[in-house]
C-alpha cells in the first residue's frame, strides 16, 4: 500500500527533494497513463513536429558548418529559413508546443490535486476535468509573461540606449535588471500553482504568489536552484546522445574538407530521431520540477496560513466526535 503524502505542510529543502522523488517514483506509471490517456493526440503531434523540425535542421547542418571560409554557411541559413516546408513545420511546432505545455502541466498538477482531494485515490475523470478547466488559464499566465517581458525588454532597451557611452551606468543597469528578473521569476513560477490549486485568475494568482514568496524568497530560490541543478544533470543523460551526434557530425564535416551542397534541404532521420528522444526524456524528468515546485508552493503557503495544521486539528476533532 502506498503511503499517503500530505502536501500541505512546511518542508525543509532536503525534505522537499526527498518527497518529490518519492512521489515521482511511486506515482510515475499512473501519471504517465493519465498523461497519455487524455493527451495522446497532442503528444504525437508535438513529437512529430519536433521530429520534422530537426529533420530539416540537421539536413542543413553540413551547410551551416563552414571550415573552409567559402561563405556557404550564410547561404545554408538563408535557404533553410526560406524553405516553405521548414517554416510550416516551425509554425506547427510553435502551435503544438503552445497546446502541449499547459496540458502537460495540468495533467501532473491535476493528478496531485485529485490525489489530495481524495486522500490518495486518483479518479481519471476528475483529473480530466482539471486539465480541460485550467487550460486557458495557463495560456493566460504565459501571455501575461510575454506582455510583461515585452514591456521590460522595451524599457531596458530604452535605458541602455539612453546610457550609451557610459559603461558604468550600463553595467549597473544590467546588474539591476538581472536582480529584478531573478526576483520576479520566483513568484511567477509559483503563480501557476496558485492558479491551479486555489482557483484564482491569472493576475490574482501572480499577486498571491508575490505575497507567499514574501519573506520566503531565499528559501524558494534555494529549492528551485537545487532541483534545477538535479533535473539538469538527469536531463543531460537524455541530451548526451544528441551532443555526441552533433560532435561526430561536426568532425566528419570538418574532415571531409567540403561543405555539403545546400541547394536543397536534405533530411536527417537519425539526427531528428535522437532529438525527439532527448526532448521526450527531458519532459519526463521535468515532472520532478513540477512536483518539487508544487511542494514548495504548499510549504510557503503553509508558512503564511497554517491551513494544513488547522485542517489536521479539525480532522482530529471530527474523529473524536461521538456523533
Mean pLDDT for the stretch of residues 274-284: 92
322 pLDDT higher than 50: no
Distance of alpha carbon 270 from alpha carbon 193, whole angstroms: 38
pLDDT at 249: 75
The answer to whether the CB of 205 falls within 8 A of the CB of 191 is yes
Check residue 60 and give its pLDDT: 57
- 96-112 burial string, b = 16+ CB within 10 Å, else e? beebbbbbbbbbbbbbb
SS3 percent helix, strand, coil of the chain, rounded to 5, is: 85, 0, 15
* pLDDT tens-digit map of 252-276: 766 654 444 433 445 578 888 888 9
Half-sphere exposure of 182 (CA within 13 A, CB side): 13
Closest C-alpha to 50, from 100, 103, 105: 100
Q: SS3 letters for 94-142?
A: HHHHHHHHHHHHHHHHHHHHHHHHCCCCCCHHHHHHHHHHHHHHHHHHH
Lowest mean pLDDT of 23-32, 87-96, 278-287, name the range. Answer: 87-96
In the predicted model, what is the mean pLDDT of residues 275-300? 94
Residue, of 321 and 140, whose pLDDT is higher: 140
Whole-number pLDDT of residue 89: 84
Least confidently predicted of 9-18, 61-70, 200-209: 61-70
Q: To the nearest whole number, what is the mean pLDDT of the chain?
A: 82
Query: The cell 529584478 sits on which residue?
Result: 180
- Determine the pLDDT at residue 150: 80
| Between 155 and 253, the higher pLDDT residue | 155
Tell me the C-alpha distance between 106 and 294, whole Å.
12
The full length of the chain comes to 323
Residue 76 — very low, low, confident or very high, per pLDDT cuts 50/70/90?
A: low
User: Would you say 60 and 76 are in contact if contact means Cβ atoms under 8 Å apart?
Assistant: yes
Query: How large is the average pLDDT for residues 10-16?
Result: 92
Q: Can you give the pLDDT at residue 312?
A: 65
Residue for cell digits 536582480? 179
Rounded CA-CA distance 61/132 in Å is 40
| Rounded CA separation 17/295 (Å) | 9
Please tell me the least confidently modeled range out of 43-47, 49-53, 104-108, 164-168.
164-168
Q: What is the mean pLDDT of residues 34-60?
A: 88
pLDDT of res. 253: 63
DSSP-derived letter for residue 259 is P
pLDDT single digits (tens) 176-193: 888 888 888 999 999 999
Q: Is the pLDDT of residue 75 over 90?
A: no
Provide the pLDDT for residue 82: 55
Amino acid at each position: 500500500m502506498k503511503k499517503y503524502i500530505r502536501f500541505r505542510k512546511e518542508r525543509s529543502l532536503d525534505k522537499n527533494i526527498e518527497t518529490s522523488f518519492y512521489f515521482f517514483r511511486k506515482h510515475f506509471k499512473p501519471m504517465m497513463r493519465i498523461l497519455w490517456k487524455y493527451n495522446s493526440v497532442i503528444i504525437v503531434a508535438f513529437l512529430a513536429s519536433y521530429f520534422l523540425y530537426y529533420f530539416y535542421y540537421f539536413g542543413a547542418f553540413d551547410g551551416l558548418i563552414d571550415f573552409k571560409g567559402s561563405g556557404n554557411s550564410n547561404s545554408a541559413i538563408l535557404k533553410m529559413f526560406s524553405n516553405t516546408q521548414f517554416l510550416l513545420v516551425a509554425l506547427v511546432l510553435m502551435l503544438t508546443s503552445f497546446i502541449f505545455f499547459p496540458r502537460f502541466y495540468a495533467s501532473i498538477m491535476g493528478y496531485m490535486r485529485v490525489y489530495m482531494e481524495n486522500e490518495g485515490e486518483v479518479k481519471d475523470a476528475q483529473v480530466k476535468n482539471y486539465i480541460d478547466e485550467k487550460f486557458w488559464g495557463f495560456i493566460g499566465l504565459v501571455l501575461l509573461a510575454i506582455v510583461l517581458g515585452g514591456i521590460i525588454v522595451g524599457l531596458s532597451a530604452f535605458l541602455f540606449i539612453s546610457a550609451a557611452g557610459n559603461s558604468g551606468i550600463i553595467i549597473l543597469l544590467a546588474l539591476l535588471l538581472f536582480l529584478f528578473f531573478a526576483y520576479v521569476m520566483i513568484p511567477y513560477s509559483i503563480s501557476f500553482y496558485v492558479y491551479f490549486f486555489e482557483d484564482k485568475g491569472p493576475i490574482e494568482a501572480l499577486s498571491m504568489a508575490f505575497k507567499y514568496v514574501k519573506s520566503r524568497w531565499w528559501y524558494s530560490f534555494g529549492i528551485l536552484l537545487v532541483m534545477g541543478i538535479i533535473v539538469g544533470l538527469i536531463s543531460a543523460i537524455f541530451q548526451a546522445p544528441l551532443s555526441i551526434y552533433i560532435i561526430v557530425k561536426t568532425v566528419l564535416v570538418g574532415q571531409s574538407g567540403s561543405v555539403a551542397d545546400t541547394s536543397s534541404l536534405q533530411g536527417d532521420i537519425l539526427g531528428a530521431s535522437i532529438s525527439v528522444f532527448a526532448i521526450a526524456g527531458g519532459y519526463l524528468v521535468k515532472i520532478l520540477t513540477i512536483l518539487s515546485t508544487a511542494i514548495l508552493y504548499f510549504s510557503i503557503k503553509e508558512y503564511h496560513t497554517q491551513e494544513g495544521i488547522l485542517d489536521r486539528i479539525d480532522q482530529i476533532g471530527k474523529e473524536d466526535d461521538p456523533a
